[in-house]
Structure 1
Amino acid sequence: MKYPIEVFAKKLVILISLLLLITIGALVYVTWIKTVNTNISEILNPFAILNKKDQQTPPKEPINIFSSSLTDKEINIALLGIDRRSKFESAYRTDTMVILSINVTKNRILLISIPRDLWVENSRVNALYIQGGWESLQSAFKEITGLEVDNYILTDFEDFAWIIDSFGGVEVAVENSFVDSQYPVDVTKTYQTVAFEQGTEVMDGQRALIFSRSRKGTNGEGSDWARMKRQHLLLKGMVGAVLQPKSIFNPMNVEQAYKMITDGRMDTSLTLSDAYYLWDMYKDKDKYTYVSLFLDSDYVFNPPMEDYGGAWVLAPIDPTYAAFHNKVKEVVNQPVPSTLQ
């Protein structure tokens, strides 16, 4: 008996459909079996789950402090304070410039302040950063001091006050009593009177900012050099304040502290590895002696304003800064005191 072609075709379609269903069912079954076996193995062996997670997320590599570039016997870092009153300001000057030179082998810290009005590279030195970036200011520091200054930390008024408050205040040894009746009030563009008494004072952020900015004080405290000296006093006080009881950095978590300081606040060329390296040195802080140097009237003078387009500037007595270079070398190469040998 012969089947009509239509009946044959219909049965062929049904047969193919059954084969497809059987194939799909088999694939689903195999997949289900694999899943069940995997789950059962993870239940029987809980470490399989942990191993699976370890394979998905590679372990975080520990920070290697020896990967830091700060491995020389001499570490030079520029501490830059800018006159920015708001984060929205894009034009500002580095009115505070302190070069922190750490001699690891001799346990000596040299603080060198550069006056903001110094004329260098056809500009006031405090304008170089905004004009040509860190490299421009770095080149000027090399010309002025003879030191290779590889890194910087830059902060404004707000962040300077914040770091002092974060320490829980800073104890400062005020050397001279003085009154400044022309201290600027930035918001109102007016002046206020501030005063400090000789002796020890624990300053909060705003008080420390006033102490470091004032330059119209009485009793010999009315100049840029006077406030440079006060800034050095503050820096020395800050070293001991890091781990005082009220400090938010006590106990110290270097990575967390680095993120807090650099995330939207201070700018720096120092890396996290550098921060670990410096913190490793902190345990020996009491072994270090401090020396302050200032580019003062022994090395600079006030030239006629007409020679500089009517601007009040400072110029080096010796354009090569040779005398100041020699002074820096003398301090750097001083023998270690016998008590530290």
Structure 2
Amino acid sequence: MTVRPPFRADIVGSFLRPAELAEARRQHAAGVLRSDALRAVEDTQIERLVGLESENGLRVATDGEFRRSWWHFDFFDHLDGVEIVELDHGIQFQGVQTKPRGIEISGPIGFSAQHPFLAHFRALQDAAAQTGATPKFTIPAPTVLDFRLEPGHIDAATYDGREAITDDLVQAYRDALAAFYDAGARYLQFDDTAWAYLCSDVELAKARERGIDTDGIADRYASMLTRILDGKPDDLVVTTHVCRGNFRSTWISSGGYEPVAEALLAGTPYDGYFLEYDSERAGGFEPLRFLPEGDKIVVLGLITTKTGELEDADAIRIRIDEAARFAPLEQLALSPQCGFASTEEGNALTEDEQWAKIRSVVDIAGSVWG
């Protein structure tokens, strides 16, 4: 097994919310439970989760995103100059729509030391220290903010259009990386739906309707991420998870990685790439040929989090062998395709099924890489 993350058996990040936590969040939203009491419940449930992650064979620990309602909006809402506002529509998945929320740029974008996710990381770090696991913290990628912005939601007095936000967005993320590193973080992940949407003609058409110039957008995003990641400390591992949509076991994007593979795998300085490969919507493994030789790792998301049915281990090993035709086996790893609860609603499976999936990832990775 690898010593440096991403590990041969790894995870994307989120887990199903326990009933006690879900009830506490409902009471807090209703004004019945105070913030400090909710935080105490969160602390207890995260400590329990970290213990379960270790007991089920993982060497990495996340906080399950237990303090969040959304995988992305909670982070963006606490950036300077960014607000989450109510829209007249949500994000459309297959047959279901999210709550009607969107991003508003109301002032200069920045990252401050008061961002609550820094305290969230420190709490995870303390919990992980009890098990010896490596704490991994997830935040949404800057490309998500850019891609999800809708027309009329940028303050004209601050920025002259969409492209004008880029420099401040890059600096905000550079400041975020520095702050997390100073807090002790050595394993971060940028969760990113934008790259998956660039593989979909349907989503590209929607982006153009939102005023996004999609010509050359993959190279533009690669440049943005390179500006952020260049110069990061050598002992800070930053990976990305390319998500195809994960809300109540539904999805958004279809299309293989071929349109973006070179720009993403060869054109961005990530240390690892969590790629979803749990369905035919992801296409084949041929795009992995763009992975440069060296230390970069592609983590194959072959175990679905959308259903509780356990995959056949032999079939997964065969698929890993197929992927190894296009990228060296030593540069591959295994994980679930996504988190189990990208939003607090969670996917349609039980906690027992969730942990069976994790044990399967650990067992299969052990049998493949030793």
TM-score by length of 2: 0.27
Larger Rg: 1 or 2? 1
Larger RCO (alpha carbons 8 Å, 6+ apart): 2
Question: Larger strand proportion, structure 1 or 2?
Answer: 1
TM-score by length of 1: 0.29
